Amino acid sequence: MTTYNSIEIRIGPKNLAGRLKTICAALLLPLLLTTLPTSVQAQYAYISDESQIRITRYTGPGGDVTIPSTIDGLPVNIIGFAAFSGHFSLTSITIPTSVTSIEGSAFLGCGNWQ
């Protein structure tokens, strides 16, 4: 009786490419999903009172901005005074329904839509 300690699998070029895509997607997708919130959070200075988030300053690169509805598991409820002011590179801002208050001059001097 012969005992084998390893298994040889032959994969053709077409199968290999498909398997590599699947493996890469399976390994990279969770990594990307876990880093996304951190990178989004890094675009905002904010304060918390343990029940809600107040964005005090936008620090991102501009372009099309989507304000997150939550940061650190807390709802973003307030866009603070002058939080986005002076960001000429903004092209659009999407505000989530969680935001219930926008303080004065929050978007003063932003983008080209004024």
pTM of the prediction? 0.63
Instruction: List, in order, residues 6 or more apart from 59 with CB less than 8 Å away.
Output: 42, 43, 44, 45
pLDDT tens, residue by residue, 14-27: 555 555 566 555 55
CA distance 97 to 94: 10
How high is the pLDDT of residue 84? 94
Residue 77 binned pLDDT confidence (cut-offs 50, 70, 90): very high
pLDDT tens, residue by residue, 48-76: 999 999 999 999 999 999 999 999 999 99
Average predicted confidence (pLDDT) for the chain: 78
